[in-house]
Structure 1
């Protein structure tokens, strides 16, 4: 039994997390899939993929997911139809 304790601590320190997508409904027809990996959030639109110019819409979806505010920073980025917020929720 004592041999299992170091393994549990090791797993906790390695940052093993499950990536679970969450669908966030929005007013109107738009819906978003938000994936959280560690603290980072990835926001995708279900209808048509986001473009670089859709950052404000993605930010509003992330704010709703966070229940207030996403922790925005200069590290936020657009990648393959999704907006990524590395610092997650505020």
Structure 2
């Protein structure tokens, strides 16, 4: 397995915008060197790899990317889960 050892650099981030009907906010999106994250309205952080989807056994790599997306530390625990090629961190950022 090939691992990226270079430090992550934040490439860009867009703030959440209210929905036109006044409903819940749209997810905030962020991108970090080869990874994309969505901060969902529920506070969950969804992390995807830009090139190929994550596999179930790549939680450690997803956590490193989540830490970078959070700018320091993701809240990680036994509720973290894998869904459709993405790792979901229900605790969001610390």
TM-score scaled to structure 2, two decimals?
0.71
2:31–2:69 CA contact under 8 A, matched in 1: no
Runs of 4+ in 1 over 3 A off after TM superposition: none
Count, aligned residues = 72
* Structure 1 residues without counterparts, runs of 5 or longer: 1-10, 26-30
- The equivalences for 1:15-26 within 5 A come to 16-25=24-33
Max Rg structure:
1
Coordinate RMSD, CA, aligned = 1.3
- The equivalences for 1:73-84 within 5 A come to 73-84=77-88
Counterparts of 1:20 and 1:69, CA distance in 2:
17
Counterparts of 1:19 and 1:54, CA distance in 2:
24
